[in-house]
Structure 1
Amino acid sequence: MCIARRDMDCVYEAYFESNNHCEPDDIPRLSTPLWIFGKKYNALDDLEKIRQDITSKLWFTYRKNFVPIGGDNGYVSDKGWGCMLRCGQMVLGQALLFSHLGRDWFWEPGTKDSIYLKILKRFEDSRQAPFSIHQIALTGISEGKSVGHWFGPNTVAQVLKRLVQYDEWSSLVIHVALDNTIVINDIKELCRRNDISTKLLKVNWMPLLLVVPLRLGLTEMNPIYIPGLKKCFQFRQSLGVIGGKPNLALYFIGCVGNEVIYLDPHTTQRAGFVNNKENESEIEIDLSYHCKYASRMNINSMDPSIAVCFLCKTEAEFNDLCQLIQDNLIIPETQPLFEITLERPTQWVSVPPSVSDVEAAETSSIIAVRIDSDSDFEIV
């Protein structure tokens, strides 16, 4: 190991161990299968691999002392209101990592991969970054959320759907399923792109981040949905669940037994820039985007308002996901988490593909409950 790499590893250990003086109880030492984004582990044999996998996830938290949001007198920190916005950043960041670097890519303290840095810079706390807290908060105004107001899972998904359209490099499509229904042909029409750069017409598939907002109970999680929710973490297309506890947003990345594993954005760190990781300050900022130890809680304690997320890099992966949903969530369950259909239900008013999902919901004659606010979920 070169001296620079050794020094960086020491900085990494010092950064995390300063707040962790004893062995954490982050992973239960059981033989029960543990799932992280569709990858199966055994905690007795794979503890370090599990932690490496968790640490490789982008961890977005509250920040302070960034450029004001909304003008010179705007917010300079998102502490107390930005937790769901940060969870949205985490699910989108993970989608970009998987899409551009692959599921088996792992972060290390010395990582200077140009693609990784390009992804991370898109979430920095500045007005210019396409997926910054600034962009998300200001775009939220169009969803009826003033800057400084708390988002719910559906609102943050709708905002990210808008923002990703303006970042060509990301090469990602976000679809937010309405009325608890995945419409296969609508998604395929959205993701297929014709490539006319060659003489032969070629249809390309834009990687899909599929978000399914749900409400699985009135004030607490209905136990009937828990088996299906746990199965979602086992699908190879899993990108976790945006949710939390009441008024406390968390990003759930896996499960073990009756517990869910999550990344918690409720830590306030200083704002800064990674750039090319050429000095100690930039290295420290990069470290602050990675959490060495995840947390866990009983799945029954989750708030019933959630959004289940999947990433399908290819059309074949999407087809496989549809089959997994059919075989695991619909056929065996008396009360499925959500439905899947080939065509848009006939009761829905037909709208052009360019119209947003929210606008489609507002013109639909079948949807009695609008889903443009996070208190208005259809009860499954």
Structure 2
Amino acid sequence: MFSNLFKCSGVLIPHETLVNLPELLYTRISIMDNLFTQTLSNEASNDIPQTEGTVWILGKKYNAKRDIEAIRKDIRSRLWFTYRKGFVPIGGFGSTFTSDKGWGCMLRCGQMVLGQALVSLHLGREWRWTPETRTSTYLNILKRFEDRRAAPYSIHQIALMGASEGKDVGQWFGPNTIAQVLKKLVVYDDWSSITIHVALDNALVINDVVRQCRVEGATTAEVDGEKPLKAPSQWKPLLLLIPLRLGLNEINPIYINGLKTCFQFPQSLGLIGGKPSHALYFIGYIGDEVIFLDPHTTQRSGSVDQKSEDNEVDIDATYHCKIANRIPIMEMDPSVALCFFCANEKDFRLLCRLMQDELIANEKQPLFELCSERPANWSPAEDVAAEALGATASPIPGPVSDEGFELLG
């Protein structure tokens, strides 16, 4: 009678329950995770404190009390990419990856910083989103990140590009990995008209960037248009990513002032980082707390298309976070990537001067080095990048080593 029952802690459990126990436990954990993330995203106590303190959001300065509504509009206008469920399986037939919950948080943070770069380029830093926004440029940007295989920066494209570099679909990315993957993906998107430079070995080599951005026949953005413009020789708009590790298990306090200063630069696109195994996109700070967008909320997948149907309007709203969250800056994981956007060479030259004056000359321990040319004892850029990616003799790069590549010497 009890041949299909087993005793566990004095309780008789059906055999089929034991067989399905891992799935049941995962479901239970998923439910609790959903409850936590929903509370985290909507708790008013995590909003901007009502003080006279200064708030910095992506290079823009506010007064926390007098400018509270402007701050919230600014934050809500940033593209907010979160876990999604119900999309076409990543990897095609037979794949079970119809959601990125539990593993895609750093991929979503990468989408957020790239999305902000495209907004800054095509719409401008002062652009503000409203539920009525339907401009073709905005919709064109957003559709590039939708959860479908054909979208240039979809979760599908990012995950599969990561798999080609040794990160299996479903495996967690670090800041370095997402930086390298995005760098490869933007090459295939002429409309976005952007290039990504990833500064390696804790140093930004100015002329490496200049050589990369001064591209013959490069494309540039056409405001509110469908096609890119081309010029014989010009500066290609730059998304600059500087991966760093600022401590072993926690951030060394000596770097705190430098991190805050980065948010003040007009070229700032914030930081990709988070807490251990919990990626976040940091967009500003107030006092000793950093303000972030959190991808750890699972939403249904869908398309905005032309935003003409009620369902499309609802989907569009899910890409904009209503309430900011914040944590003490010392709770950040020491592995981060600084993010900057330079629309033209003048912006880049100004950024270099700001870095030299504010981050290097003024700091006892700078976040990174700034130099005109690579020292003779350095490896060529391609070799350094290959080493960072753990490349083998194969033409396809191997696994990324986040630990060894990021650690400051």
Q: Same fold (TM over 0.5)?
A: yes
Distance 1:195 1:128, change over 3 A: closer
Question: Which of 96, 106, 125 matches 1:103?
Answer: 125
Answering whether residue 60 of structure 2 is matched by residue 39 of structure 1, we say yes
Distance 1:167 1:156, change over 3 A: same
Q: Where does residue 186 of structure 2 map in the other structure?
A: 164
Stretches of structure 2 that go unaligned for 5 or more consecutive residues are: 1-38, 220-230, 391-397
Paired with 1:241 and 1:59, the residues of 2 have a C-alpha distance of 14
2:89 alignment partner, SS class? strand
Distance 1:147 1:46, change over 3 A: same
Q: Where does residue 9 of structure 1 map in the other structure?
A: none
The alpha carbon displacement at 1:335 in A equals 0.6
Question: Which of 291, 314, 317 matches 1:287?
Answer: 317
The alpha carbon displacement at 1:372 in A equals 3.6
**Rg larger in 1 or in 2?**
2
Distance 1:295 1:139, change over 3 A: same
The alpha carbon displacement at 1:143 in A equals 2.4
- Matched to 2:365, the amino acid is Q
Contact 1:176-1:357 at 8 Å conserved across structures: no
Contact 2:83-2:297 at 8 Å conserved across structures: yes
Contact 2:165-2:399 at 8 Å conserved across structures: no
Aligned ranges for residues 84-103 of structure 1 at < 5 Å?
A: 84-103=106-125
Distance 1:181 1:279, change over 3 A: same
C-alpha offsets along residues 288-347 of structure 1, whole Å, 9 cap, x if unaligned?
Answer: 000011100000000000000000001011000000000011111111000100001111
Q: Where does residue 336 of structure 2 map in the other structure?
A: 306
Distance 1:275 1:143, change over 3 A: same
- Matched to 1:217, the amino acid is G
Distance 1:125 1:231, change over 3 A: same
| Number of residue equivalences | 352
Paired with 2:342 and 2:182, the residues of 1 have a C-alpha distance of 17
Paired with 1:196 and 1:310, the residues of 2 have a C-alpha distance of 20
How well do the aligned residues superpose, as a CA RMSD in angstroms?
2.3
Contact 2:145-2:151 at 8 Å conserved across structures: yes
The alpha carbon displacement at 1:348 in A equals 1.5
Aligned ranges for residues 213-224 of structure 1 at < 5 Å?
A: 213-224=243-254
Question: Which of 185, 194, 213 matches 1:191?
Answer: 213
Q: Where does residue 202 of structure 2 map in the other structure?
A: 180
- Matched to 1:28, the amino acid is P
Identity %: 60
Q: Where does residue 358 of structure 1 map in the other structure?
A: 385
Question: Which of 137, 156, 176 matches 1:115?
Answer: 137
Q: Where does residue 8 of structure 1 map in the other structure?
A: none
The alpha carbon displacement at 1:142 in A equals 2.4
Question: Which of 367, 370, 381 matches 1:340?
Answer: 370
Paired with 1:206 and 1:266, the residues of 2 have a C-alpha distance of 33
C-alpha offsets along residues 14-56 of structure 1, whole Å, 9 cap, x if unaligned?
Answer: xxxx999985540011212100000000011100000000000
TM-score when scaled to structure 1? Answer: 0.88
